[in-house]
Structure formats: structure tokens, C-alpha cells
Amino acid sequence: MSLPLLASTGRRLEALTATAQAVGRLPSLACAVLRDGEVAWTDARGTDASEHGDVVPGPDVQYRVGSVSKTFTAVLVMQLVAEGVVDLADPVGRHLPDAPLRDATVRGLLSHAAGLPAEPAGSWWERSVGSDWDVLAAANAHVGPVLPVGQQYHYSNLAFGVLGRLVEVHRGAPWAEVLAARVLDPLGLDRTGCEPVAPHADGFGVEDLTGLLVREPHQDTGAMAPAGQLWSTPRDMVRWLAFLAAPDPAVLDADGVRAMTRAQSIDPDDPRGGSYGLGLRLSGQPPRVLVGHTGSMPGFVCGVFVDPRTGVGAACLSNGGSGLDAEGLPRALVDLVLELEPALPDPWVPTTAVDDSVRELLGTWYWGQAPSVMRVEGDGLRFASTSGGRGFTFTRTGDDTWRGTSGYQSGETLRVVRRADGTVSHLDVGTFTYTRTPYDPDVPHPGRGWR
């Protein structure tokens, strides 16, 4: 159960949202904060959210969330990966022979690292009536990469149109139907969908010199819907962030979501030092890297981000065509909550039992002359330098083998090497030899004869 935020914290959060709405000249702005898996705070600014003036902005009013749709498409793709139907290394042409840029990999499409054009060929797709897949594929059949594959992050809406089609082909149903059945319904996101359902905001631009509102059109984007079609509410977006922070295996397990949050490509022009995972924007630097996405469509801008370590997140939705710092405001809300009401660590729980095969590995080991200490941590082992250097964690994979789960040794194998009598001689970690005494003379070390 989440405790409510302190009134003093709420007032500080309100000051941030009020300033963002006023300075950004946003017709309306609705925000919500996630803590402990629940909506912990909401605020809404602006006199109304529709051209008729009869929709009061709030946590259950729909706004168009644009490219946040990509995070949902990415989860649908990662479900296929988890089932073994698709491999991230697959060229997309293996699954879609008629797709543009068939040699691009699924990973490259998800991470904006395939060098694809930013936009599909033709008129501005966000303001145009969408076509079906056949028309989209034909229009882009001769499109080539604009950058070398893997050179850098280069955002591509076209990539997610292709990924949406990948989902449709393997599920045998339209993207919207698959999304509802496999993500929205299981997570209870009943105010998220491809078309607005009242109460909803209308999209506006703001005339620069007069401050007058200009109504922006809403279009069904057709085959490009997986890149930016969705409508949602601050409350539903907070529920989505809760899933990204604490995955529901009925939709996608923790390993799958964790893979989405690992940096795949880096934006060299981003002053915040952000990067991109698999369908998720990574904002900031350790120890507080937020994951989520920004979104914009004509008349709408939003940002939804969460800190997976603490489970604190924020969703900020507006119906102005510009003026919202869609990454900065959610971060400011998250930072303020964690500054004023720090997250509490889980209680330390004593170990109940230690197997003999684990106990014999504990204690001090030497890599050359440098000591490190092995100790039990949770269900695994932690191996850390006594001088404050690098530390690694390992989980058991066999009787005498362990797999690295953090740091330099992630994915590497720790192998327990035994003497003829069964006692432990040394540890081999990716060719590094650890012994109980520095350069134990009874254990082979490369270069021993050199002086």
C-alpha cells in the first residue's frame, strides 16, 4: 500500500506543473506521479481541454500520447522474442519479405540503430489519412538507409510501422486488436486505445504572437499507428510505468523488460546524455536512469518516465503543440519526490542456510596480488575488491559453475577448479585465475617464468 505524499511535497510538485503550464503556454497539462505501484499524486492545469470548453483536464481525461505508442509496440515484439518466434538478430525480411530495408535487424529497428529514414515517404504522416500496409510498403520499397547501420542513434518512425506489421503477421490480427488482447486488457489499461473516448482533450497549436488557439486535426494513421496512434490518460500512463518498473509476467517477464532498458544506441547530440534501449528512451546517467518515452502528435506533447530502481515515475500529458519539456518535467517531478521523500530500501533479511559447496568459496581470493572477498548476496554470490574497485555478482548454473550477472563479468562463467582430492584449488573467471594466496605456486599462472 502506497502512503500518500506529504502535503508539502504536493505543493512543490504543483509549483512545477503550474510553472510548466504557464511558461509553456499549454492549453492544459495533466500530470500524475507513481510510487509503490500506485498513483500517488495528480494535478491538472488549464481552464479546459477541448475546443468546446466542456472538458476539465484531469487524471482520467484522454490525451494523444504519440510515440509512447512505440513502447507498447516494442513489448508486443519482445513477446514474440520471448516465445522464440522472432530473434533480435533476425533481418526483418526473414519475416516480412515485402518490408522496406529488409536487411535491417529487429534489434536495429527497436533501437533506432538501423540507419532508417526518420519518416516514411510521402506526405507528413502525422497529419495525413493513413494507408494500409501494402501502400506503405510500396511507397517505401526503394528507400535506402540514411546512415550506416549501427553508426549511431537515428530516430525512425518508419521502423515502428514495420515492427507493427511484424506483430500483425505473426499474430494473424491487426495491431490494435493484438495490443488490446495482449497488453491493454491484462494490465487494466481501459482508457488507452487508438481512438479518443470521452472525456478527451482536443489538440491545439498556439499562435506565437497572439496566444490564440488553433485546432489541430486528428487522423487515423493506418499502418503507421504502431509508431504514434494511441490515446491515454495520466492514470493509465502511470499504470504503464508501474509495469515497466515491476513487470507482470502475464504480459512480459522481468528479463524481457530488463532487456528493453539496456542501452543499445546513443544520441551524440543529446545534452542530457540520453540513450535508447529496445523501444524505450533512457534518460540521464547512473544511478538515476529513467526509462520511458516522450510523445508528440499535432496538438499534443507528453512525457512518461520511471526510475526502475525506486519505482517512482511521472506522466505529463498536454494538448499544446509545443512548449512542454517532455523529458525534463517528468524527471523534475521524480527527482523532487525522491529528494523530499527518499525511497526506502528493502529490509535486510538474514541468510537462513548456506550450502557447503557455497561456504567453501567464501572469503578472500587473490587476482595476482590484489585481494577480493566472496560473500553470499541473496540467492547468489558477490565478489568485490577490498580496495573499492569493481564488484561482480554471480548466480549458480551448475555444481561448480556460476554465471556473472553484473559488471565486467556479466554473462561470463565462474568455474570452480578442484584438486584430485576434491578440495578447491582456484577459481577461473573468464581466464582470470583467483587463488587463496597471491600467485599460489601450485596453480599455473601465465608468464610465471618472466623476470
Which H, E and C letters describe 289-323, residue by residue?
CEEEEEEEECCEEEEEEEECCCCEEEEEEECECCC
Pairing of β 312-318 and β 38-45: unpaired
pLDDT of residue 451: 39
pLDDT over 90 (residue 168): yes
pLDDT over 80 (residue 32): yes
pLDDT of residue 121: 82
Q: Which three cell numbers mark 343?
A: 525511497
pLDDT of residue 345: 87
* Among the ranges given (30-44, 65-79, 123-137, 305-319), the one the predictor scored with the smallest mean pLDDT: 123-137
pLDDT band, very low/low/confident/very high, at 123 (cuts 50, 70, 90): confident
Mean pLDDT of 288-317: 97
pLDDT over 90 (residue 151): no
End-to-end CA distance of the chain: 64
* Cα–Cα distance list, 142 to 81, 99, 340, 423 (Å): 28, 10, 54, 65
Mean pLDDT of 404-420: 93
Say how many C-beta atoms besides its own lie within 10 A of residue 121's C-beta.
15
* Among the ranges given (42-51, 87-96, 273-282, 383-392), the one the predictor scored with the smallest mean pLDDT: 383-392
* Cα–Cα distance list, 429 to 372, 417, 439 (Å): 13, 10, 15
Query: Mean pLDDT for the chain?
Result: 93
DSSP letter at 184 equals: I
Please name each of the domains of the chain with its CATH number. Answer: 7-340 (3.40.710.10), 356-434 (no CATH)
pLDDT over 60 (residue 279): yes
Whole-structure pTM value: 0.92
pLDDT of residue 272: 75
Among residues of the chain, what percentage have pLDDT more than 90? 79
CA atoms within 13 A on the CB side of 136: 27
Those residues with Cβ within 8 angstroms of residue 148's Cβ, 6 or more apart along the chain or in another chain: 115
Taking alpha carbons only, the member of 348, 340, 236, 339 closest to residue 288 is: 339
**pLDDT (tens digit per residue) in 244-257:** 999 999 999 999 99
